[in-house]
Amino acid sequence: MAEDAKKEARLHIEDMNCASCVVNVEQVLKNVAGVASVKVNLATGSATVQYDPSQATLVDMKKAVEDIGYKVMLNTAQLQVSGMTCASCVEKIEKAVSQIDGVSRVVVNLSTGTARVEHDPTLASLAEIKRAIRELGYGVEELAAGTALDREREARQREIRKQLINMAIAWPVGMLVMLGTFQPYWVLPNVIPDWMNNKVYLFALTTPLVLGPGRQFFVNSWNGLKRGLTDMNLLYATGIGAAYLIAVINTFWPDAGFGGREATFYEAAALLIAFIVLGRYLEAVTRGRTSEAIRRLMKLQPKRARVLREGQEIEIAAEEVQLDDILVVRPGESIPVDGVVLEGYSSVDQSMITGESIPAEKKAGDEVIGGTINKTGAFKFRTTRVGKDTALAQIIKLVEEAQTTKAPIQALADRVAGHFILGVHALALAVFVFWFFLGYQTWFSPESHLVLTPYSLTDMGVFGFSLLVSITVLVISCPCAVGLATPSAIMAGTGKGAEYGILFKGADAMEHTAELQVIIFDKTGTLTKGEPSVTDVVAMTGFANEEVLRLAAVAEKNSEHHLGEAILRGAQAHGIEVVNPDSFQAIPGQGVEAKVAGQAILLGNRRLMSERQIPVDVSLSEAERLENEGKTVMFLAVGNRLAGIIAVADTLKETSAQAIAKLKRMGIKVAILTGDNHRTAQAIAHKLGVDRVLAEVLPEDKAREVKKLQAEGLRVAMVGDGINDAPALAQADVGIAIGSGTDVAKETGHVILIKDDLMDVVAAIQVARQTLHLIRQNLGWAFGYNTLAIPIAAGILYPFVSQIVSPELAALLMATSSLSVTLNTLRMRGYIPPIRRGIVP
């Protein structure tokens, strides 16, 4: 498939509960002809599909997913269409709209003059759909639009409502069944009437429970199974089904040898359903909270904009704002899109995008960001980026994409979760065979009990006992916890990062950031402000200081190098007129060569002077003194004779030293990478307390320096300007692009810091470490739980304690296990990176 022919769609999928669902959805989507790659994220409930539109359509993909029992949620737009007169208009509109790639379904109603369009907004925007209808000559207005986010929230609400209803049935009935079952024990005969222990009564209570709230497990597992797919529902269905079946047999055919009338498992079936439904309810509630960050970002997108058209101020939908429109923003309003202020003055709260808590002052010429809030004054601005190009849209896309990616640490969990259900069934089979042929005869004791119950196993035959243990194994195992451990934490972590203006481009970036050993900072513009100024001019015999500065400024006049610009500014500050040079040539990493009034001028570092064999010995002591002060020294030669030296110094950013000190305290080695000579670089390194200096590095060699450190077995991050340092950022294990501003899409780094603040490097590492810490805890819990619980359920302790775990206790443990992972992840909600709390990490 040609790369350029590929398209990407993001499907929001409802009803995915566990890691097996992820495997199932990935599998069916990969089987659709034309689909090149699929990434499914359980925590976000989404699938990112790359496909060839000439072979696969959104409809094919939707059908494939829905065929295995999941629902695909698309945006639904309700449009009011005017100008339709007959049935052919309907056909025409339906045909035109359905041909747009990304439209799944379109239904036009002639009598009401409306159109209902289901579409994937990443492929077909509403504006595109409306344009297609307008081009046919009809008028179109949006009535109501349901975004995928709204639909996802609705779906979650539906799931919560559904499980609440199920709980309202399952819990009271389950408690009645349990009380009835245990009526003969303890003091219960004194308080509970005998008839409540009647097996037919228990049957009458349990049956509606199995067919009502329990039905979902049977239907879902059958839907998957008939297509060769398994999920968590299968474990529940087998457990509940088997317990219920044995109970029914023992009720109506007590002599059949399944343990008799006293060995009914109605309470097991009923409480299994109750606990599983409780688990699903709590998960639906809590899982919604892990995606709060992205939800909050999406909520920032303003719906309306006030635009100036032909001198009139009119209100339109924000997505219909076009480039170069003039918009008006009043105090308290959200800024609809990105732009540049034309007139007016105000302060704007940009904290939601940049993480900067202090409002930014905006005046004519300043940039404003869509989604931020205008606080005080009113202003007009010209739009520079609209729709999917706005900073907010790019950030949302970046965070969403990051949340869809998988961390390397997840590979093991995926492998386990993918085979978990089958593995557990195979284990249940083995456990059954073991207890049937060997275990029961060897260890069974009629006095044995189920854990935490007085329920005696006296009458339990070999089949009943083996089956009970086998069912418990099925019920206690919990692949959900394994599947959710990593993606839910990544989701919470990337969201938390975005809150502080730290954008992780993927789960791997997050993991690598947490494991960094060395951070290399590009000096100019990263540790320093990137605005150097001339500090010293030393003229050699026969030249005046002003002359040296003038010649240097003329030579650098056409240069774009920041040192050249500093010299030019220095000359202008001294009122020196700077004429154009006759010729100019930049020598990368060394300096410049120019001709001024017939004189050959060279301005650059020692290497340039040495290559051109210009003696600089006379100025060396002075140059060294300046370099020891951390200044960059340039030598000026006129006609092959040294004319003077010029020292330029850049100011360190306020937070540089503090950030480096904190990084070192976190156990990370810090290095500086610069084109300056060793002496200057050392002086700066000394000021900042940096361990290692990589000096005199040419721009093209930066990536090689990173590679060298990696060859030492170190995990290296490079912090720099996302555009100039792109190769080094790409080479590093983690490229951190700092101060990207709002154009995040252009950045090459793995981590993007919107603000130009080195403290955010520390914050990024802290967020990543906390996320990885959560992942490790989650995985430890999930694997630990299953490793411990499954053998216990299989009866490994029975020979010693004569007790086995009951299926209902197994269900409780399983539900708790899955929930504990989600709850642990939710701790990230209240997390504030220590550096932002003002606490030393």
Partner 1 sequence: MKQLKPGWVSAFIYIGISLIAAGIFLAVTIAGDYTWVARAGGAAWIFLLSTIILMPIVIPTVRKRLKQKDQVERR
Residues annotated catalytic, as ranges? 522
Q: What single-letter amino acid sits at 787?
A: T
Least distance between partner 1 and beta carbon 483 (Å): 17
Binding site for partner 1 (CB under 8 A): 27, 225-230, 234, 238, 242, 256-258, 421-422, 425-426, 428-429, 432-433, 436-437, 461-463, 466-467, 470
The torsion defined by the Cα of 503, 509, 510 and 511, in degrees rounded to 10, comes to 180
Under 8 Å between Cβ of 758 and 720:
no
Residue placing its CB nearer to partner 1 in the complex, 33 or 187: 33
Least distance between partner 1 and beta carbon 689 (Å): 59
Residue placing its CB nearer to partner 1 in the complex, 250 or 742: 250
109: which residues sit within 8 A by CB, 6+ positions away?
Answer: 90, 115, 116
Least distance between partner 1 and beta carbon 467 (Å): 6
Residue placing its CB nearer to partner 1 in the complex, 258 or 500: 258
Strands 803-804 and 449-450, how do they pair?
parallel
Residue placing its CB nearer to partner 1 in the complex, 288 or 423: 423
Residue placing its CB nearer to partner 1 in the complex, 256 or 544: 256
What 8-state DSSP symbol labels residue 251? H
CA Rg value for the chain: 35
Least distance between partner 1 and beta carbon 479 (Å): 14
Residue placing its CB nearer to partner 1 in the complex, 237 or 491: 237
DSSP assignment of 437-488, as one string? IIIHHHH--TT-EETTS--B-TT--HHHHHHHHHHHHHHH--HHHHHHHHHH
Chain-centre distance for alpha carbon 644: 55
Least distance between partner 1 and beta carbon 237 (Å): 9
Dist CA 183 CA 264 (whole Å): 13
479: which residues sit within 8 A by CB, 6+ positions away?
Answer: 18, 19, 20, 232, 416, 417, 420, 421, 424, 786
Dist CA 543 CA 545 (whole Å): 7
Residue placing its CB nearer to partner 1 in the complex, 81 or 234: 234
Least distance between partner 1 and beta carbon 438 (Å): 11
What are the residue ranges of helices labelled H in 73-181?
A: 87-98, 126-135, 148-181
Q: Residue 645 corresponds to which tokens in the numbers above?
A: 């030296």
Residue placing its CB nearer to partner 1 in the complex, 230 or 301: 230
Least distance between partner 1 and beta carbon 261 (Å): 14
Residue of 38, 71, 34, 84 lying closest to 56 (CA atoms)? 34
Give the CA distances from residue 90 to residues 78, 112, 126, 144, 383, in Å, rounded to whole numbers and listed in that order: 15, 12, 18, 20, 36
Dist CA 795 CA 472 (whole Å): 9
Least distance between partner 1 and beta carbon 837 (Å): 49
Q: Residue 1 corresponds to which tokens in the numbers above?
A: 């498939």
Residue pointed to by tokens 């990105």 = 338
Residue 441 phi/psi, 5-degree rounding, is: -65, -35
